[in-house]
Amino acid sequence: MIKPLTTPARGMRDFLPEDVRKRSYVIGVIRDVYERHGFEPLETPAVENIETLLGKYGEEGDRLIFKILKRGEEGRQTGDADLALRYDLTVPLARVVAEYHGTLPKFFKRYQIQPVWRADRPQKGRFREFYQCDVDAIGSTSPVIEAEVCGAVSDVLERLGFTDFVIRLNHRELLRALLDVSGVPANLHDSALIAVDKLDKVDADGVVAELERRGVSAEAATRTLQAFGHSTTKAAAPQAAESSVAQAFRPADVDAQLERLLAGHDVGARALDNLRAVMRAAAATSAGAHLRLDPSLARGLSYYTGAIFEIAVPDLAGSLGGGGRYDNLVGMFLGQPVAACGFSLGLERIFVVMTERGMFPADVTASGADVLVTLWNGETIGTSLTIARQLRAAGLRVEVYPEADKIGKQLKYASSRHARYAVIAGDDERAKGTVMVKHLTSGEQTEVPQADLARWFDARPS
Amino acid sequence: MIKPLTTPARGMRDFLPEDVRKRSYVIGVIRDVYERHGFEPLETPAVENIETLLGKYGEEGDRLIFKILKRGEEGRQTGDADLALRYDLTVPLARVVAEYHGTLPKFFKRYQIQPVWRADRPQKGRFREFYQCDVDAIGSTSPVIEAEVCGAVSDVLERLGFTDFVIRLNHRELLRALLDVSGVPANLHDSALIAVDKLDKVDADGVVAELERRGVSAEAATRTLQAFGHSTTKAAAPQAAESSVAQAFRPADVDAQLERLLAGHDVGARALDNLRAVMRAAAATSAGAHLRLDPSLARGLSYYTGAIFEIAVPDLAGSLGGGGRYDNLVGMFLGQPVAACGFSLGLERIFVVMTERGMFPADVTASGADVLVTLWNGETIGTSLTIARQLRAAGLRVEVYPEADKIGKQLKYASSRHARYAVIAGDDERAKGTVMVKHLTSGEQTEVPQADLARWFDARPS
């Protein structure tokens, strides 16, 4: 027999118990913080009608969507797909807001923690199935919203033990204004932003080259990079030659530079004012200490219309999360514009950094039952299961050894499973209505009346 | 503009906040009970290699698997699928056990609570995306295992408030033995079981007709129905004309009848002995009061090899869950047999019955923030966000009204959202360093120093 493949599909992962416990810990913190911020839980299906997703994420997004074959003969013959896997949590939210418009609260604040799927090339910290943890607020254009979503994710990261994160802040209209004043024609803006978005991965010269490939003149390309605070070998700008994260630590300079560049560009100046209002509001939240204006932040997704955010930590190439304002996306489903803004945390990236830095509390990964109940022989199954039932009713985690192996073997198994105690009901104990309780690390044994067993454990917390 | 479809895909559902809260309550109970029983959490990917799933669920199962198109040009042109959506949680578990064989504990007890997808025709309580809540124990053939998984699901149902459920119990070898002694040839057993499995939905005559269509002689078909305790119009058996659930309430009769039918059939008699051992062991668990021998229970899935279970409640046509022993499934991946047995609870069915019977505790569905912080004007955003931050740090759920609307409008919104309190920081209060706290149902107002606010709420739990 050829042994079939038993690995998970490419880019997908199995989570064994210890992994699940760690992930549940992080998700629990995120949920608690989001709830405190007044966001309510929403869940949408993993599978959407394919038209719901296509055309919402840009060209590359469309290509990375997992498509589901039509059922029956038709699918097999035509290769037609009518369904697709959820690609993010924002487009499904927009669909839900349109579907339940009128019944949802005027300000609909929801959180959503679910997996999404992208047919991306897997690499470190990037998988084809991964969890997003989103907060979004629908119905208001107030900068309070931006401040609140940034405050929520900032509280999450601080609760998890992160201190050194930066929330990079920019604005889609400010980006376009910078392209304008750099001489990039409006019809090339979308294309140019895709190039600028690569400043994290590609150096400034590489981005200039890509801008030129996309039809931007050499001069405009170089001016664009300068406007975004990056030097090129062709013309080193005075404020450049630093990573965007480092640069972001001088907010006053950036603001002054932008003020100067955008003087006379109304839309750009308004965008800058909006970012200032967001930063003023956010100063009253935990995000205040982490927010940095960063004009080079572009964000890949095409649906953003206003402020955009992305979280950077020094030792991670990608981001821990991102988001922004997308006032037109709901309108694509509803036919009328609805204000919306949100922030998405990436569970996998958070997990990678927390694992590398050893940030998980010890009790999160502690596995093992509280008690292993041994089995004396095949006739005493009822006794073992009765003892287990008593202890479970008292809230303890109890394993029952299922086979009548030698007690020594059963105790060895209990230790290997990191159980704290083993309970033994031998012939003598059963005759007396007692059980022997053995503490597995000290070896200490105590005889306890079976009827008192739950109380005995109750007096010995953890 | 043509308004695009905003409903979820066929057979899929959106869960709005109240739904999610109810589902989380049920899942929380299930997780807690499973943990107390010493099961550990496992999660597997939604997407599996298609070969992992095909051929494991029988013909009908293969047809109902959602298949994912290969990426790129190849998929579009050939219609080939290389991936598929998880169809249950048992086959992925078997794959995991094979993959991590040697590193998992000797007795691997895991629980898994995740959605699965089937391209079934949607109907009441049956969806194309639904959650299964499974416990399985790997590595032992002891009847302790069957007793433990039945005890776990029985504890779950009792904790949720179910009292009237029956766990129908049968054995795959006993079923085959009954077919043997009824004169159904061995090569027709699998096919005959598919017909017998329909006894819930189709009457006895209908099942006889289907057995004949599947090649069973008229005489053997009628004897089969009698062996399973069902009368047919052709030959009414004395013990028949009752539903299998009602019949199951006379365990002694069933046992005696089976004893008589299987006398001289070794394999069948051994299967009956095994079921007796399971029932003896389960008597020490909460399942004892609910287990009933029911020879007509067949279970659709093809991988079962020993005891099988299914949970019936009087007012539901389908079952709340089911399971059984499947000692060969892991072997299909590993190349050597591994003992395994489990039980799967269906979240959606449990949910349907709990909703119809009004079984949810009131506080589960209570929504609304503890406090809504109003916004006095555009200049006082910082004050409102600071108050919110204080209260959130104290563990309260706090919404901030994002716009400087009239206070009356903001209070009306707070009431509509079922907030308990509103906090107002007007010009007078801000000058004094106080805030006004309004209890929204009584209308009572209290002026509280802003610095004492968290303590003030702390003294007024819920």
Alpha helix segments (H runs only) across A304-398: 329-334, 347-356, 362-365, 381-393
**Which residue in B has a C-alpha nearest to residue A12's C-alpha?**
B45
Q: CA A419, CA A398: separation in Å to the nearest integer?
A: 9
**Which residue in A has a C-alpha nearest to residue B402's C-alpha?**
A144
User: In chain A, what residues touch B384 (CB-CB under 8 Å)?
Assistant: 144, 284
**Structural domain tally of chain A?**
2
Q: Which of the listed residues A301, A335, A356 is the one where a domain comes to its end?
A: A356
**Which residue in B has a C-alpha nearest to residue A383's C-alpha?**
B284
State the smallest CA–CA distance between residue B236 and chain A in angstroms: 40
Pairing status of strand B321-325 against strand B340-346: antiparallel
Three-class SS state of A416 = helix
Test A400 with B44 for CB contact under 8 angstroms. Answer: no
Test A20 with B4 for CB contact under 8 angstroms. Answer: no
Best mean pLDDT range from A221-230, B333-342, B357-366: B333-342
Whether residue A396 lies inside any domain: the answer is yes
Whether residue A236 is predicted with pLDDT greater than 50 in this model: the reply is no
**Which residue in A has a C-alpha nearest to residue B78's C-alpha?**
A79
Three-class SS state of B329 = helix
**Which pLDDT value is given to residue B202?**
84
A16, A51, A83 member nearest B100 (Cβ): A16
**Which pLDDT value is given to residue A239?**
40
A220 and A290 share a domain? yes
∠ CA(B80), CA(B86), CA(B91), 5° rounding? 110
Choose between A298 and B118: higher pLDDT.
B118
pLDDT per residue as tens digits for the range A297-356: 888 667 899 999 999 999 888 899 999 999 999 999 999 999 999 999 999 999 999 999
State the smallest CA–CA distance between residue A349 and chain B in angstroms: 18
Confidence of residue B379 (pLDDT cuts 50, 70, 90): very high
**Residue A43 gets which letter from DSSP?**
B
B352 and B377 share a domain? no
**Which residue in A has a C-alpha nearest to residue B68's C-alpha?**
A68
Tokens of A156: 């999450």
Choose between B411 and A257: higher pLDDT.
B411
Whether residue B231 lies inside any domain: the answer is no
A43, A95, A401 member nearest B15 (Cβ): A43
Sign of the alpha-carbon dihedral angle for B52, B54, B55, B57: positive
**CATH number of the domain bearing residue B131:** 3.30.930.10
**Which residue in B has a C-alpha nearest to residue A371's C-alpha?**
B38
Tokens of A333: 């489903």
User: In chain A, what residues touch B23 (CB-CB under 8 Å)?
Assistant: 43
Q: Which of the listed residues A308, A335, A356 is the one where a domain comes to its end?
A: A356
**Which residue in B has a C-alpha nearest to residue A41's C-alpha?**
B17
State the smallest CA–CA distance between residue B282 and chain A in angstroms: 8
User: In chain A, what residues touch B403 (CB-CB under 8 Å)?
Assistant: 140, 142, 144
Test B37 with A398 for CB contact under 8 angstroms. Answer: yes
Three-class SS state of B16 = coil
Confidence of residue B368 (pLDDT cuts 50, 70, 90): confident
Confidence of residue B250 (pLDDT cuts 50, 70, 90): low
**Which pLDDT value is given to residue A214?**
95
Test A6 with B109 for CB contact under 8 angstroms. Answer: no
**Which residue in B has a C-alpha nearest to residue A103's C-alpha?**
B16
Sign of the alpha-carbon dihedral angle for B208, B212, B216, B220: positive
B401 and B256 share a domain? no
Whether residue B201 is predicted with pLDDT greater than 90 in this model: the reply is no
pLDDT per residue as tens digits for the range A87-143: 999 999 999 999 999 899 999 999 999 999 999 999 877 899 999 999 999 999 999
pLDDT per residue as tens digits for the range B124-161: 778 999 999 999 999 999 999 999 999 999 999 999 99
Tokens of B299: 């279970």
Query: What is the average pLDDT across B451-459?
Result: 94
A83, A333, A385 member nearest B9 (Cβ): A83
**CATH number of the domain bearing residue B387:** 3.40.50.800
Choose between A281 and A249: higher pLDDT.
A281
Test A107 with B402 for CB contact under 8 angstroms. Answer: yes
Lowest mean pLDDT of A190-199, B351-360, B417-426, name the range.
A190-199
Test B17 with A110 for CB contact under 8 angstroms. Answer: yes
Test A395 with B36 for CB contact under 8 angstroms. Answer: yes
**Cα diameter, chain A:** 95
Whether residue A218 is predicted with pLDDT greater than 70 in this model: the reply is yes
ipTM confidence score: 0.91
Whether residue B363 lies inside any domain: the answer is no
Q: What are the CA-CA distances from residue B324 to residues A194, A218, B140, B272, B321 (Å)?
A: 54, 70, 13, 15, 11
**Which pLDDT value is given to residue A232?**
65
Q: CA A298, CA A15: separation in Å to the nearest integer?
A: 33
Q: Are B199 and B296 in contact (CB under 8 A)?
A: yes
Test A16 with B335 for CB contact under 8 angstroms. Answer: no
Q: How far apart are the first and last CA of chain A?
A: 48
Number of Cβ pairs < 8 A linking chain A and chain B: 303
**Which pLDDT value is given to residue B249?**
40
User: In chain B, what residues touch A129 (CB-CB under 8 Å)?
Assistant: 45-47
B341 and B247 share a domain? yes
Test A20 with B43 for CB contact under 8 angstroms. Answer: yes
Whether residue A380 lies inside any domain: the answer is yes
State the smallest CA–CA distance between residue A40 and chain B in angstroms: 6
User: In chain A, what residues touch B383 (CB-CB under 8 Å)?
Assistant: 284
**Which pLDDT value is given to residue A2?**
64
State the smallest CA–CA distance between residue B399 and chain A in angstroms: 5
pLDDT per residue as tens digits for the range A1-48: 567 889 999 999 999 999 999 999 999 999 999 999 999 999 999 999
**What angle do the packed helices B266-282 and B251-262 form, to 10 degrees?**
160
Query: What is the average pLDDT across B174-181?
Result: 94
Q: Are B147 and B287 in contact (CB under 8 A)?
A: yes
Whether residue B244 is predicted with pLDDT greater than 50 in this model: the reply is no
B413 and B454 share a domain? yes
State the smallest CA–CA distance between residue A26 and chain B in angstroms: 15
A379 and A249 share a domain? no
∠ CA(A63), CA(B45), CA(B111), 5° rounding? 160
Cβ neighbors of A263 (< 8 A, separation 6 or more) are: A269
B298 and B194 share a domain? yes
Whether residue B240 is predicted with pLDDT greater than 60 in this model: the reply is no
**Which residue in B has a C-alpha nearest to residue A368's C-alpha?**
B38
Average pLDDT, chain A: 91
Q: CA B410, CA B412: separation in Å to the nearest integer?
A: 5
A156 and A180 share a domain? yes
B401 and B450 share a domain? yes
Test B42 with A16 for CB contact under 8 angstroms. Answer: yes
Q: Which of the listed residues A356, A384, A400 is the one where a domain comes to its end?
A: A356
**Which pLDDT value is given to residue B364?**
84
A385, A395, A401 member nearest B281 (Cβ): A385
Test A385 with B151 for CB contact under 8 angstroms. Answer: yes
User: In chain A, what residues touch B385 (CB-CB under 8 Å)?
Assistant: 144, 147-148, 151, 281, 284-285
Whether residue B67 lies inside any domain: the answer is no
B321 and B440 share a domain? no
Whether residue B69 lies inside any domain: the answer is no
Whether residue A64 lies inside any domain: the answer is no
User: In chain B, what residues touch A35 (CB-CB under 8 Å)?
Assistant: 397
Test B333 with A42 for CB contact under 8 angstroms. Answer: no
Whether residue B49 is predicted with pLDDT greater than 70 in this model: the reply is yes
User: In chain A, what residues touch B337 (CB-CB under 8 Å)?
Assistant: none
Strands lying side by side in the sheet with B371-373: B398-400, B371-373, B421-424, B434-439, B445-449
pLDDT per residue as tens digits for the range A175-210: 999 999 999 999 999 889 888 888 777 888 999 999
B337 and B381 share a domain? no
pLDDT per residue as tens digits for the range B52-61: 999 888 888 8
Whole-structure pTM value? 0.92
Q: Which domain does B444 fall in, by range?
A: 368-458
State the smallest CA–CA distance between residue A331 and chain B in angstroms: 10
Whether residue A427 lies inside any domain: the answer is yes
B250 and B349 share a domain? yes
pLDDT per residue as tens digits for the range A414-433: 999 999 999 999 999 999 99
User: In chain B, what residues touch A76 (CB-CB under 8 Å)?
Assistant: 79
